[in-house]
Structure formats: structure tokens, C-alpha cells
Amino acid sequence: MTSDRVSPMDHAAIAAIVHAPGTADDSALLAAFADDWLARGVMVRGLVDELADGKGNACGARLRDLETGSHYVIFQDLGPGSSGCRIDPGGVVAASVALRRAVETGADLVVANRFGKLEASGSGLAEEMLQVMAAGIPFITLVAEPWLAEWQRFTGGAGQRLAPHRGALDAWLLQHVKTAAHAVA
């Protein structure tokens, strides 16, 4: 990794939807927000969570690439006797192409499904998140309350905290993404 945080002087609009741990509704909120603005013509790129296979919990999650619609499985199935799951590093690496592509080809807004334990330790999508921020592209993600201090360190204090409400997300977007104002008109 080239840097472990972003300087507040060198950042674009950076925001985190702060939520209580284990709140699946916030993943759905972020996905609906991204999909709605994409449908309005805003070039939204990145990754959102989707529950797969009807599991109804994080173990059934997969990531959807907002540009291509491709899905990436990010959890390993530990078998029928298991009550838990384990992150699949290979799935996360495969999914990271969506964030790298957004930096290479450009975007109005980049979304990442979440900043969590992996990113706090410098792995997961951390490098790609830093690349998006360094490129000056507006960026939004989810952060559970236990990881908020790590998120603030990661962004050098530059990340704005947003409540998990659609109105807060839309207001932030309209303030930081110029093409969004045209999409509303």
C-alpha cells in the first residue's frame, strides 16, 4: 500500500454512512441510492452488497459491480454443519477491479460496500479506496460504529459522517457531485 491514510488537504468528497453493527438494511439503502442515481444518468461506479441464495445474512452476501452487473462471491461456504462463514480473500480481490476501473475510466461517484475489519487492517479494498480518494472522485461507503475511529484515521479525518437515511445521502450527493444537479432537473 502506498499510504495508510488520506491527507485532509488532498481529498475529494468522502463520506461514510455510519450504522449499528449487523444492520443489513443499510446495505440495501446504499444499493438503492446508487441504483437510483445511476438510473438518473449519474456515472456511479463501484460495489454494493446483495444477499444471495436467500440466506438473509452476511454469509449469503455477494458484491455487485454497479457498472457491469457482475457478481462476486466474497464469503466461503464452510459447509452444512457450520453456523458461520469466512471472508474469501480471492473474492474480494476479484471484486476490487470495479474500484480500480472507476479510477482508470472516471466516475461521478464511487461506492464501496463497506469499510470494515479488512480495510482497517490495510487489506480488503483499502488500497482501492485510497486510490479513489487520491483521484479526487467523490466516494461513499458504509462504516459500522465499531470501525468509525479506524475510518477517521484511514481518511485523515476527511471523511464526513452521514446518518443512514436516504435524505442525508441525496443531500450529500447534490452538494458534491455536479452531474447530480442536472439529473434532478
We find that the CATH architecture of domain 11-184 is 3-Layer(aba) Sandwich (3.40)
Angle subtended by helix axes 24-39 and 166-176, to nearest 10: 40
Arithmetic mean of pLDDT over the chain: 85
Check whether 182 has a pLDDT greater than 90.
no
**pTM of the entire predicted model:** 0.86
- Region 130-139: what's the mean pLDDT? 95
Whole-angstrom CA distances from 126 to 44, 93, 106, 129 are 19, 11, 19, 5
Per-residue model confidence (pLDDT) at position 12: 58
Per-residue model confidence (pLDDT) at position 61: 76
- Model confidence pLDDT, tens digit, residues 50-83: 876 555 555 667 899 999 999 998 877 666 766 6
The residue count for the chain: 185
Per-residue model confidence (pLDDT) at position 183: 73
